[in-house]
Amino acid sequence: MCSKEIAISVEHLSKCYQIYSKPHDRLKQSLFPRLRALIGKVPQQYFREFWALRDVSFQIKKGETVGIIGRNGSGKSTLLQMICGTLNPSGGAIKVNGRVAALLELGAGFNPEFTGRENVYMAATLYGLSQAQIGSRFERIAAFADIGEFIEQPVKTYSSGMYVRLAFAVIAHVDADVLVVDEALAVGDAVFTQKCMRFIREFQKHGTLLFVSHDTAAVQNLCESAIWLSHGKVQMTGTSKEVSEAYLQFTLQEVYGEEAKLISVVSDTAAGGLASASAVDPGAAPVVDYGAVASVRDNTIVATGWKTGHAEIQSVSLTKLSPGSEGIYAGGERVRMTVRVKAHSSLEKPVVGFLIRDRLGQDLFGENTFPFTDRMPVRVNAGTTFEALFEFRLPMLPNGQYAVMASVADGDRYDNIQHHWMHDALIVSVASSKIRYGLVGISFDRVELKVTNG
């Protein structure tokens, strides 16, 4: 690939820290190895090595949005600091084409004794802006941060949310080519987070984004691809959906430990997943014509996920309860989602649920049987087949394809083991001639515009 097309190139990157058990071991390390070498003895080491990153390599193309996921301590922050140039690697090389702006740990780069105004000038100068450029943009930066008169107060008096507001306002106005966003957005309020997300989506049209989050749904929503770091090494790279699903399974396995072994279910058929939308029979029109129809495809044979072997989903189906052609859904009708399960071991507190997700992996809606079993516990013996039924009105969905995730667990709301987790059990394809507003549409009984006076 041409180097001009690459925004970030990381080759065999490593970072090692020297960990000392006692303060005076630092002095010993600075003196004794040299003295031993002078007298011909093998130098002694007074520290232990901790490799925050080891032999990490990847490339990110210009204009690409890449998510980085991993547990705390996996090396994410270390990697970001080296990409931003605030930390030197122990080995390997990094090449970044263009200006990098970063929102890393809370308040990074701010002097707590300086006012917000002074910190804006200092931070923007570090990004390469002149005093005149900063002055011409300051009012826009202050308006974006929206912290009022606190802009003239020392930042040591700021709340965590105000820190983030000011820091993000700066990086949003420095004309960056590469934007690095860490978990810091998690401390912002809903209004400011929405403002940041609008900026990020606009930035994605022309810039390169590196997004770090523990929220796999957000990673799937924003990112085309993802990198999973574990213990300082690249565990997996791929599409954001593939990496997020693998990471979810890994984290649950860490929680379960030896109590349950999650075995991956991998499809060997290319027919699975979210394919391109196909034409569907329009069927019967609803009372209020929204011009939308949806078809449902059973995808359980090739669906991926994991199992423990204690219970297995046998089928997932969606049937129409309202009048009309079976298999064709317009939105607004009553439907029944049925999840059929076979228990291979006794389940003391079985819980079955489903989620409907869009193509970006965002959870739109779903339910599980816990509200029912919490009031009326059901025990299932080994060898028993049982069903979970969910009846609801199907919302109107925008054009595209949607996946139904189904699962069966044993336990309660807070302490349970997922014995079978099935991604993409059903694929719902929606074709509509009308515009939908939002992720999920509803049927309006009345829409009217009228003049009330004059």
Nearest to 47 by CA among 66, 69, 61, 30: 30
Two tokens at 69?
A: 């996921």
**Core vs surface per residue 11-43: b (16+ CB within 10 A) or e:** eebbbeeeeeeeeebeeebeebbeeeeeeeeee
Mean pLDDT estimate for the chain: 85
Higher pLDDT, 327 or 244: 244
- For 393, phi and psi rounded to 5 degrees? -95, 125
- Is the pLDDT assigned to residue 288 strictly greater than 70? no
- Is the pLDDT assigned to residue 446 strictly greater than 90? no
Nearest-angstrom CA–CA distance, 84 and 80: 6
Domains and CATH numbers, the chain: 3-244 (3.40.50.300), 260-432 (2.70.50.60)
**Could you give the strand order of the β-sheet that contains 334-343, starting from the edge strand earlier in sequence?**
311-320, 334-343, 385-393
Q: How far does Cα 79 stand from its chain's mean position?
A: 18
Q: What is the pLDDT of residue 286?
A: 38
pTM for the structure as a whole? 0.76
Average pLDDT, integer, range 310-327: 87
pLDDT of 133-144, one tens digit each?
999 999 999 999
Nearest to 434 by CA among 395, 399, 400: 399
Q: What is the pLDDT of residue 414?
A: 83
Two tokens at 448?
A: 């009217």
Q: What is the pLDDT of residue 379?
A: 93
Helix (H, G, I), strand (E, B) or coil at 139: helix
Q: What is the pLDDT of residue 449?
A: 76
Q: What is the pLDDT of residue 440?
A: 81
Higher pLDDT, 264 or 55: 55
Nearest to 167 by CA among 214, 211, 105: 105
pLDDT of 344-382, one tens digit each?
999 999 999 999 988 777 889 999 999 888 888 899 999
pLDDT of 186-223, one tens digit each?
666 667 877 888 888 899 999 999 998 888 888 888 89
- Supply the DSSP symbol for 115: B
Give the torsion through C-alpha atoms of 388, 392, 397, 403, to 10 deg: 0
Nearest-angstrom CA–CA distance, 232 and 213: 16
